[in-house]
Amino acid sequence: MSRIHEALKKAAEERSSRLATEGSPNFADVAGDVTRSSLADQQLTRPQLHTELRKSADPGRLQFEDLIKKCAHPKWKIDPRSSVFHGAGDHNVGAERFRTLRSRLYQIAGVQPLKKILVTSSLPAEGKTFVASNLANSIIRQNDRRVLLIDADLRASRLHQTLGAPIGPGLSDYLRGDADEFAVIQNGLDNNLCFIAGGSSVSNPSELLLGERMKRLLDLGALRIKEMDEAGIDIQVLSHGAPAAQKIPADVAVPLTRKVNDRLHEAIAAYPTRLAAFASLPTDDPAAAADELERCVTKLGFKGAMLHGMAHGKFLDDKRFWPIYARAEKLDVPIYLHPSLPNAAVTDAYYADYIKEFPMVVRPAWGYTVETATTAIRMVLSGVFDAHPRLKVILGHLGETLPFLVWRIDHALARPGQKALSFRDVFCGNFYITTSGNFSNPALLCSVMEMGIDRVLFAVDWPFVDNMPATQWIDTVPLCDEDKVKLLSGNARRILHM
């Protein structure tokens, strides 16, 4: 063992002793194989090695010892051709070099806050598996060092061969939902080394995350049309999901939204009598967004635009976005205000206590509703409808509770000390609502009584809500046939110029 290694080892031991006294974290990640592809694929194909799976002071968290008991325990047989720590013994030149590398990594961690180390390359067969597995073996040879080694090269897993471990069930099986976390974690050689194999090989790792709902979201043809036919739906108006381009800087968003709108136009052109579209807008450049809206409406035949929650940290009532609304008024097309996730500070303050057990509380159960209703109220208060009195705004989910609250909001804002404003007049004169994801007869009747049948449009919220329950619900709606025609198609034809 070299003098350099001895000195580094001594420094590492002294630092470990100091950290044990101070209680500071000592943590490093090492990643192995990664194959160059799309960004989404790269995020799925980075095997990671996590050192020091610590005992947690939180009694609700899994202890390392409990993990060892619950995980799989196959018999590993290390391949001596791939490991410098087996076959030839621990004191060969290769083993010494990995110990030196390990010590240098710990030395770096003592100088600056080391979080992740990636052993990676854009090309296959360059030794990444070799480096990751041997560095893992080097780390566990120190006292109280624990390693979780993950092979996330889902196209061509190799780390299991080095360890002589089963290839599955592994990471791909877990992401597919075919195995739980304990079934895929192996511990077959040393209690301090756990391993997740790659699992069943997949040609496109991103497909592992495509459940039935995601498949429907991405389908722009046969499956979508098939399920429309089955439910008796003639036309769908398509849009891009939240947050669309509303977190992307202008220099990227302006050309990007043009491309995605063109792509959407190609999709609806294949089914011109069945599909229509709302535009996605580059909100970081409101003037460019207004121009893109006009291009989409006049050149591509789009029916308006959809905006999602806050844009670039600002509510959509902010005056910087008013050029978009001015152009929408001029073109006589609506802006659809769709929910997005609440601001992170709101989520933390209002929902953090319950997100773990009720993850939907911050989404459609309540968070989306509050966020979108707040945006709508702010738009009324902002004066944008005074500046653009013919601006039309659409809210989903039967108006995000606002029809139920119109009287109370209007009455409260009419009290002394308020700026003169009729909330009811603005809301009921400029807003339209859809039935998307809210198939309630009492809620529908409330909305009709407050806003009038001419301002309610049929919608489903597919694929988050199935088509069939929506059309079956219509049979139970206590409206006359004339009003049902308005609800199901007449209002949409008038407002969207279809």
Active site residue 461: yes
d(CA 304, CA 478): 30
Query: Which range is least confidently modeled, 32-41, 183-192, 465-474?
Result: 32-41
Q: Are 2 and 104 in contact (CB under 8 A)?
A: no
Task: Please give the pLDDT value at position 13.
Answer: 54
User: Which has the closest alpha carbon to 116: 2, 34, 227, 205?
Assistant: 34
Model pLDDT, residue 93: 59
Per-residue pLDDT for 63 more than 50?
Answer: yes
Strands 48-51, 29-31: pairing is antiparallel
DSSP-assigned letters across all residues of 273-333 = TTEEE-B---TTSHHHHHHHHHHHHHTT----EEEES-BTTB-TTSGGGHHHHHHHHHHT-
**Residues 233-276: pLDDT tens digits?**
999 999 998 889 998 999 999 999 999 999 999 999 999 999 99
Q: Which of 157, 154, 185 is nearest to 74 (CA)?
A: 185
Return the bridge partners of 48, or none.
31
Contact criterion met (CB below 8 Å) for 119 and 98? no
Quick one: pLDDT at residue 343?
85
- Tell me the Cα Rg of the chain: 29
Q: Which of 11-25, 113-127, 173-187 holds the top average pLDDT?
A: 173-187
Query: Which residue intervals of the chain bear CATH 3.20.20.140?
Result: 211-495
pLDDT of residue 412: 96
Within 10 angstroms of residue 269's Cβ, the number of other Cβ atoms is 12
Q: What is residue 25's predicted lDDT score, i.e. its pLDDT?
A: 32
CB neighbourhood size of 361 (10 A): 16
Per-residue pLDDT tens digits for 193-206: 777 888 877 766 66
- Least confident piece of the model among 91-100, 300-309, 371-380, 402-411: 91-100
Q: How far apart are CA 342 and CA 349, in angstroms?
A: 11
- Going by CATH, does the domain composed of 211-495 fall within 3.10.450.50? no
pLDDT at 8 over 70: no
What's the CA gap between 25 and 115, in Å, rounded? 10
Q: In which band, very low, low, confident or very high, does the pLDDT at 177 lie, cut at 50, 70 and 90?
A: low
What pLDDT band is residue 493 in, cutting at 50, 70 and 90? very high
Task: Check residue 58 and give its pLDDT.
Answer: 45
Query: What's the half-sphere exposure (Cβ side, CA atoms, 13 Å) at 332?
Result: 5
The burial of 110, by beta-carbon neighbours within 10 Å (0-12 exposed, 13-18 middle, 19 or more buried), is given as middle
pTM score of the predicted model: 0.64
Report the range of poorest mean pLDDT among 216-225, 320-329, 406-415, 417-426: 216-225
Residue tagged active-site, from 33, 386, 461, 475: 461
- What's the Cα-to-Cα distance from 453 to each of 378, 393, 450, 490, rounded to whole Å? 25, 16, 9, 10
Band (229; pLDDT cuts 50, 70, 90): very high
Cα end-to-end span (Å), the chain: 80
Contact by Cβ (8 Å): 115, 25? no
Average pLDDT, whole number, for the chain? 80
Report the distance separating Cα 34 and Cα 114, nearest Å.
21
Half-sphere exposure of 304 (CA within 13 A, CB side): 25
- List, in sequence order, every residue forming a beta bridge with 194; answer none if it has no partner: 148
**CATH no. of 3-206:** 3.40.50
Residues of the chain with CATH 3.40.50: 3-206
